[in-house]
Copies of this chain bind each other. A is one copy, B any other.
């Protein structure tokens, strides 16, 4: 039997769907059981409680996101390349997992202690290398002076917000689903250009 077919994995899979679209509070154990096609008691047999099942889903979700960040933070390319690659890769990734940003942001807000647990994990993104790269390029005159934290948050903001605020963005810019997707698609390069334009010395 393949790993994906075990009851335990089917539960996690169904739980992911339900928790990510409805959040901890909106999710129902019965709905998860139904979606997994098993008895509700199984959820408790494998995961003990709603809280623990939720945490399993959350850690799983975060472990998908963290590597995306670590790429830009830990490789040895130039800041410009980091930004171009990240913007392209992150957007591509998020188009496949559109619920992920909202889910993480949301539940992190609901329970701030949660992030402490994540921080303990190895693989929690660390900005130090990115910061020293930015500072080095500023000293070399490649980039205009900018605080590395501010730059990093700007990069995140420009990449994540269109997913977080999808309904608002669609409504304000009067785009239907198709136009929204095209809009996001073009951001893969637009956003990188926007950032590079702003910070590159010339």
Contacts and interface: CB of A to CB of B under 8 A. Distances in A.
Chain copies in the assembled complex: 2
Contacts of A108: 167-168
Interface string A160-178: 1110111111011111000
A105 B160 CA distance: 13
Contact of A165 (B25, B160, B169): B160
Contacts of A171: 115, 118-119, 124
A51 to B, nearest CB: 14
A154 B158 contact: yes
Interface in A146-197: 146-147, 149-150, 152-154, 156-158, 160-162, 164-169, 171-175, 183, 186-187, 190-191, 194-195, 197
A122 interface: no
A125 B172 CA distance: 7
A22 interface: yes
A173 B127 contact: yes
B109 A154 contact: no
A102 B106 contact: yes
